[in-house]
Structure 1
């Protein structure tokens, strides 16, 4: 199936809405469907990983951030920021802190704000 970027973005947004409304089952189904169509796009991988975080699957999220997004784009600050959150939630505070420190220095204003919040804890 050939899907346009706009359709994939719209479906991803629906997946995020389900995620943020607490419907992690539907969110994961939507995001994994989008991922099946657009396998190589980091933004899609990010969405799948965030949905896994909201569903409580930190190991799955960590794996996607590390092995799929950061392996392809090692300087992806949003992936490092979200990986830090997932690691923090998994009890890996030292590794998370290292990522947050890097994001605080090199990320955009949104990423820096999230990293700084976690560094202040």
Structure 2
């Protein structure tokens, strides 16, 4: 199936809106569909990980971020933020702290703020 980038972006946005409105069931369905169509693309995998994070599937989010996104883009600071959040939510505070410390040193302004909040600074 040949789907335009614009359609995939629109579907991803609908998936994000569902996720942020606490409709994680439909968000997961939408993002899994986008992932199946888009194939191996970092932005799509980020969306899948984000929905997993917001759905409480922390181990899946960690796996996607560590073994897919950050393998391909190790300096992706947003992925690092989401990984830190997933680690923290799954009780891996020490690992999360290391990630957030890294983001505070290397991220952009928004990423540093997110990491700082999670570090309590």
TM-score (norm 2): 0.96
Which sections of structure 1, spanning at least 5 residues, go unmatched?
A: none
Which sections of structure 2, spanning at least 5 residues, go unmatched?
A: none
In structure 2, the residue matched to 1:62 is 62
TM-score (norm 1): 0.96
The Cα RMSD (Å) is: 1.0
Deviations 1:59-104 (A, max 9, x none): 1111000011011111111111100000000000010000001111
In structure 2, the residue matched to 1:87 is 87
Q: How many residue pairs were aligned?
A: 121
Moved over 2 A (4+): none
Q: How many angstroms does 1:3 deviate by?
A: 1.4
In structure 1, the residue matched to 2:24 is 24
